[in-house]
Amino acid sequence: MSRHLLGVAIATTLAVMLTGCGSGGSGSDEALEIWIRQAPDSDSAKTAVKLADAFTKASGITTKVVALFDDFETKLQQQAAQKKLPDIVINDTAQLGNMHTQGWLREVDKASLSGGDQVAELAWKAAQGGDGKYYAAPFSAQAFALIVRKDWREKVGLDEPKTWDDLSKLAQAFTDEDPDGNGQKDTSGFVIPAGTKRGYASWYASSLIYANGGDFIKAAGGGKFTSTVNDPKTVEAVQYLQNHFCTSKTVNPGAVSNDTTVTHEVFEKGQGGIYLVGPYVLARFVKSIGTDKIEVIPVPQGPSGGPGTLGEGENVYLMAGSGNEAGQKRFAEFAVSPEGQRIGMNKDANGAIVRLPVNNQVDLAAERQDPRWKVFQDAYADAVYAPPVPNWAPIRQDSADAINAVWADCSADVKAKMDALNTTLTQELQSQKAS
């Protein structure tokens, strides 16, 4: 069956970048179609093309790379409805359950995947479904840290924060003490993607929740799970952030509606000085803000727990229905290989699609000269991945809706909201037969 992107009306909106030749399709003699969740024409999309080009050179298999960012999952749904899924999808680790429950993914035999024994076990956990089987090949990993305006911190005369109290004092100073020296009170401490789109509020809060020893869901044995989102340690972390939104008012205005795309720009424009984020924007900020003006600091352990931040990344998913299963496997093997990982890392330049390498034969320090990457690598040792429930997406979205609500409404009671969310997540686990 010939493989096309979408119907004519939709196809004109898709930005497609091609490498190799051929029209694409499910047959083994047609180009292997690879979708990646990156903005068209971005540096990251160009890195994906370099990866595909190198694979073609090594294997002789032609490829077609499709870079999409907005409504990525919706467009995959459209392709699935037409039974025209791409051969390969490079997408977030947290999307595994959602894609698996819809029957889109082929199982991956970890033992037979060449190079799979060189992949870190923690990364393999992010490719594992709730049934214990693997439905992807790990490709990229990341943990989180604080990217801070070093010039501002030195201007207000504070040390690097080691505790949450230190972090609060730094945020307050960035808000009140004119760290950019323009004579106006127009800066904030934190910049936060606190909107609900794609669960961003939950995504952001999770690193502080994990740093305080809290969690959303805990394994209960036998492939079952229980909600723990109203645990005092989780409540404490959400309350800490509500205090910054509502009491000290040290968060950038409009944060409760923002996603990461907007928040990156807020940080670059000097509207705030503390950004808890992954390493994928480090090279961008070095270029746009200046290497001497930013520093990377570990997320401080919370008063009740830690250490730990969110762990995530991207997997290579082998999509169901492909007529070129051998080509799918060969691409996955190339992606996890040292050569594939190095291409994806893109050294210190912007456009990395491998944040932290998953292959233990790749030396991060040899590939990237910027020592700030090591802060993220060290944090990864204590990173916490989303648990392998059948579908994490609704759990993240429900959590984002609840957390966003207590940040947007300063009269909201955090404990009561987390109790209500606990009931919601328990019901969700029951509906997934994972309770």
161-189 pLDDT, tens per residue? 999 999 999 999 999 999 999 999 999 99
The residue-averaged pLDDT of 209-220 equals 95
pLDDT-based confidence at 101, cuts 50/70/90? Answer: confident
What pLDDT, on the 0 to 100 scale, is given for residue 28?
56
pLDDT band at 253 (very low <50, low <70, confident <90, very high): very high
Rounded distance, CA 158 to CA 152, Å? 9
Name the pTM for this structure.
0.85
Average pLDDT over residues 213-223: 91
345: left (phi over 0), alpha (psi -120 to 50) or beta: alpha
Radius of gyration of the chain (CA): 22
Beta strand 272-277 with 224-227: parallel, antiparallel or unpaired?
unpaired
Lookup: tokens for 430:
């029951």
Q: Where are the domains of the chain?
A: 8-142+312-377, 145-310+392-431
3 has a pLDDT exceeding 50: no
65 φ/ψ sector (left φ>0, alpha ψ -120 to 50, else beta): beta
Q: What would the two tokens of residue 91 be?
A: 């997408």
**16 vs 355: which has the higher pLDDT:** 355
- The answer to whether 8-142+312-377 and 145-310+392-431 have equal CATH topology is yes
What are the pLDDT digits (tens) for 393-421? 899 999 999 999 999 999 999 999 999 99
Residue 56, classed as helix, strand or coil, is helix
Q: Give phi and psi for 297, each to the nearest 5.
A: -125, 135
Cβ proximity of 357 and 377 under 8 Å? no
Q: Which two tokens stand for residue 216?
A: 């959303």
pLDDT at 17: 35
CA gap 73, 79 in Å, rounded:
10
List all residues 6 or more positions away from 57 whose beta carbon is below 8 Å from its beta carbon. Answer: none
DSSP annotation of 105 reads B
**At residue 72, what is the residue type?**
F
Angle between the 232-246 and 164-176 helix axes, to the nearest 10 degrees? Answer: 10
The pLDDT-based confidence of 21 (bands split at 50, 70, 90) is: very low
The answer to whether residues 36 and 45 touch, using CB atoms and an 8 Å cutoff, is yes
Cβ atoms of 14 and 5 closer than 8 Å: yes
pLDDT digits (tens, 9 = 90+) for 123-175: 999 999 888 899 999 999 999 999 999 999 999 999 999 999 999 999 999 99
At the topology level, CATH places domain 8-142+312-377 in: D-Maltodextrin-Binding Protein; domain 2 (3.40.190)
Q: Which residues contact 265 (CB under 8 A, 6 or more apart)?
A: none
Of 131, 47, 51, 142, whose CA–CA distance to 94 is shortest? 142
Please determine, for residue 11, whether its predicted confidence score (pLDDT) is greater than 50: no
Q: What are the backbone dihedrals phi and psi of residue 430, each rounded to the nearest 5 degrees, phi first?
A: -65, -40
| DSSP-based three-state secondary structure for 100 | helix
- pLDDT recorded at residue 298: 97
Question: Which positions ≥6 away from 329 have C-beta within 8 Å?
Answer: 113, 318
The mean pLDDT value for 9-21 works out to 34
| Predicted pLDDT of residue 222 | 83
The residue written with tokens 């909600």 in the block is 227
Task: Report residue 188: phi and psi, to 5°.
Answer: -125, 165
190 beta partners:
251, 274
Please classify residue 83 by burial: count the beta carbons closer than 10 Å to its beta carbon, then call 0-12 exposed, 13-18 middle and 19+ buried: exposed
Residues of the chain with pLDDT > 90: what percent? 85
Q: What is the pLDDT of residue 130?
A: 80
Q: What is the pLDDT of residue 42?
A: 94
Mean pLDDT along residues 186-215: 97
User: According to the CATH classification, is domain 145-310+392-431 in 3.40.190.10?
Assistant: yes
Confidence band of 12 (pLDDT split at 50, 70, 90) = very low
Record the tokens describing residue 307, joined without a space.
């250490």
Mean pLDDT of the residues in the chain: 92
**pLDDT at residue 87 is higher than 90:** yes
Name every residue whose Cβ is closer than 8 Å to that of residue 87 and which is 6 or more positions away in sequence: 26, 32, 33, 34, 318, 319, 322, 324, 327, 328, 331
State the average pLDDT over residues 231-240.
98
Closest C-alpha to 398, from 431, 373, 372, 370:
431
CA distance 402 to 428: 14
What phi and psi values does residue 219 have, to the nearest 5 degrees?
Answer: -70, 135
Span 326-332, mean pLDDT? 98
